[in-house]
Amino acid sequence: MKVKKFYGETTEEAVGKVRQELGANAIILHEKEILPQGIWRFFKRPSVEIVAAREEQVKNQRKENRREEKPISYDKTNAAKSMASSRRNDDEVSKELQDMKKLLNTLVQKKSTEGFPAVLQGVHQKPVLDLYKQLKLQDVQENIIDDLIEELKKVTTEQDTEKEANKKIRQVLKLKLEEKVIMKDFKPRSKNAVFVGPTGVGKTTTIAKLAARYALEEGKKVGMISADTYRIAAVEQLKTYSEILNIPIKIVYEPEEMAETLKSFSDRELILIDTAGRSHRNMEQINELQELLDAIEDKDIYLVLSATSSTKDLRAITKHYEFLQDYKIIFTKTDEATTYGGILNSSIENDKPVLYLTNGQSVPDDIENASVEKLIGLFTEEG
Ligand SMILES: Nc1nc2c(ncn2[C@@H]2O[C@H](COP(=O)(O)OP(=O)(O)O)[C@@H](O)[C@H]2O)c(=O)[nH]1
Ligand SMILES: [Mg+2]
C-alpha cells in the first residue's frame, strides 16, 4: 500500500493537496497538528500533517483482510501467503514513515540554525543550541561561548540522544571550568591573606565570613588586620566582628607599621588583612595600595569583585589591578546578580581563578567555595 504524508498550515490546505495528488477517491487515514519545535516555535504557527492513501488501494487491502479473517480456508497456503504479504506491507509503511520522520527532523534542524551566527552552523543538537542561548542571556563573552560551542560540535553527533548530548555538554563545561576558572585543592601559599577591591563590594563582610569559618569550623588561630583607615566606620565594622567572633584585630595606619603588626601576630595561623576600598579610577589610591602590599612580604592576594557589576565595569576594575602580579578572585553578591557572565569573563580574560562565591549578608553562612557544580548551577538556573 502506498501511503503519503501531506502538510498544510490548515486542514483545508493539506486536504487540498491530498485531492490534487491522489484524486477525489483519496482516503485520509490520519490527521495531526504539528507544533513547531526549537528556537522558532514562538514565531511559527502550528501546521497540519495528513496521512492519506488512494481509495481503491485501501479497498483492495480491506478485501484482502476480510478474506484473511475467514476462520478456515481450503487453501491454507494462499491465506498464509496473503498474511505474510500484508505484514511485509506494514513493515514497509512503517519504514517509510521512519524515513520521512528522519528527513523531517533533518530539515527542521537545518531550518532552525539558518540565519544564526557562524559558530552555530553544523550544530545538530538542540541542547547545544539551548546552551548557546543561555550563555548569551548570561552575558558571557562571545569568544568564550564560541570556543565552547566549537568544542561541543566536535564531541556531539547527530545520533546522540538529548540525554547523551546533555551529558557531553556537562563534561565539556566541567573540563573548561576546571582548566580556566575553578582551582581544585587550593592551598594558600602564605598565612597572610590580603583582600583588595573597589569600595562596597563586600571585602570586610567576606573577611568576617572567612574568619568565622576558619576559627569556628576549623579551629584555626585567626587574626585580622584592618588597614582601611580612610573611614572610622570601616575599622569599627571589623572591630564589631572581632568582638562577636572573638578573633583579635589590629589596626595599621601606615605601611611602615605593617611588618611590626604581622610580627605581633606570629602565633596566628591565618591573618586576614582588610584594605581600604580604593577607587580603581584613582591612581594615587592605587599607589598607596601598592605601598601597603609591598610591606607584606609573604602573601596571597584576593581581589574581591561584585557579581552585580557589568562585564564592562569588571574589565575596567581588573585593568586597574593589573599591577598585582598574582591574585585569586572572590565574587560577592551572587544573590543580587541577574546575570553571571561576568564571573567567567573576568576569570578567563585575566587568567585568574575564582575561589569563593558569596551570596548574602549573613556572617558566617553566606559564603561557599566556588565549584564547577555551583557555577553550572548559576548558569543554568531558570528565569
Ligand atoms: N546581598 C549581598 N550583600 C553583600 C554581600 N557581601 C557583602 N554585602 C553587603 O555589601 C555592603 C558592603 O559590604 P562591605 O563588606 O562593607 O564592603 P567593603 O567596602 O568592600 O568592605 C554591606 O551592606 C554588606 O552587607 C553578598 O554576598 N550579598
Ligand atoms: Mg570594608
185 located within any domain? no
Q: How far is the CA of 357 from the centre of ligand 1 (A)?
A: 12
pLDDT(37) > 70: no
**Model pLDDT, residue 102:** 76
- Per DSSP, 45 falls in state P
Measuring CA to CA, which residue among 129, 153, 118 is closest to residue 39?
129
Q: Are residues 95 and 139 in the same domain?
A: no
Pick the range with the lowest mean pLDDT from 116-120, 273-277, 320-324, 353-357: 116-120
Nearest ligand to the CA of 333 is: 1
Render pLDDT for 220-270 as a digit per residue (tens, 0 to 9): 999 999 998 777 788 888 999 999 999 999 999 999 999 999 999 999 999
pLDDT(78) > 70: no
Band the pLDDT of 96: cuts 50, 70, 90.
confident
Q: How far is the CA of 220 from the centre of ligand 2 (A)?
A: 23
Nearest ligand to the CA of 228 is: 2
**Model pLDDT, residue 70:** 45
Range of the domain at 161: 118-180
How far is 144 from 154, CA to CA, in rounded Å? 16
pTM over 0.85? The answer is no
Q: Are residues 109 and 122 in the same domain?
A: no
40 located within any domain? yes
Q: Single out the residue in 63, 92, 113 at which a domain terminates.
A: 113
Q: How far is the CA of 280 from the centre of ligand 1 (A)?
A: 18
Q: Are residues 41 and 98 in the same domain?
A: yes
Q: Are residues 235 and 309 in the same domain?
A: yes
Q: Are residues 109 and 165 in the same domain?
A: no
| Cell numbers placing 90 | 506494514
Q: How far is the CA of 183 from the centre of ligand 1 (A)?
A: 24
CATH of the domain at 252: 3.40.50.300
Going by alpha carbons, the residue nearest to atom 13 of ligand 1 is 202
Q: Which of 195, 196, 205 to mutate to test the pocket of ligand 1 (most atoms within 8 A of CB)?
A: 205
Q: How far is the CA of 49 from the centre of ligand 2 (A)?
A: 65
**Model pLDDT, residue 27:** 82
360 lines ligand 1 (CB under 6 A): yes
Band the pLDDT of 95: cuts 50, 70, 90.
confident
Domain count, the chain: 3
Q: Are residues 281 and 216 in the same domain?
A: yes
**Model pLDDT, residue 333:** 98
Band the pLDDT of 75: cuts 50, 70, 90.
very low
**Model pLDDT, residue 213:** 95
Going by alpha carbons, the residue nearest to atom 4 of ligand 1 is 361
Nearest-5° Cα angle at 33, 28 to 37: 140
Q: Is the peptide bond before 364 cis (omega within 30 degrees of 0)?
A: yes
How far is 102 from 125, CA to CA, in rounded Å? 14
Residues near ion ligand 2 (Cβ under 5 Å): 203-204, 234
Q: What percent of the chain has pLDDT over 90?
A: 56
**Model pLDDT, residue 44:** 61
Is residue 322 a contact partner of residue 280, using CB atoms and an 8 Å limit? Answer: no
Q: How far is the CA of 206 from the centre of ligand 1 (A)?
A: 8
Q: Single out the residue in 180, 200, 216 at which a domain terminates.
A: 180
270 located within any domain? yes
Q: Are residues 109 and 123 in the same domain?
A: no
Q: Are residues 98 and 246 in the same domain?
A: no
Band the pLDDT of 22: cuts 50, 70, 90.
confident
31 located within any domain? yes
Backbone region of residue 7 per phi and psi (left: phi > 0; alpha: psi in -120 to 50; beta: other values): beta
200 lines ligand 1 (CB under 6 A): yes
- 83 vs 142, residue with greater confidence: 142
Mean pLDDT, residues 41-60: 68
DSSP 245-272: HT--EEE--SGGGHHHHHHHTTT-SEEE
3-state secondary structure 83-138: HHHHHHHHHHHHHHHHHHHHHHHHHHHHHHHCCCCHHHCCCCCHHHHHHHHHHHHC
156 located within any domain? yes
Measuring CA to CA, which residue among 310, 309, 317 is closest to residue 352?
317
**Model pLDDT, residue 223:** 98
187 located within any domain? no
Q: Are residues 286 and 165 in the same domain?
A: no
Nearest ligand to the CA of 235 is: 2
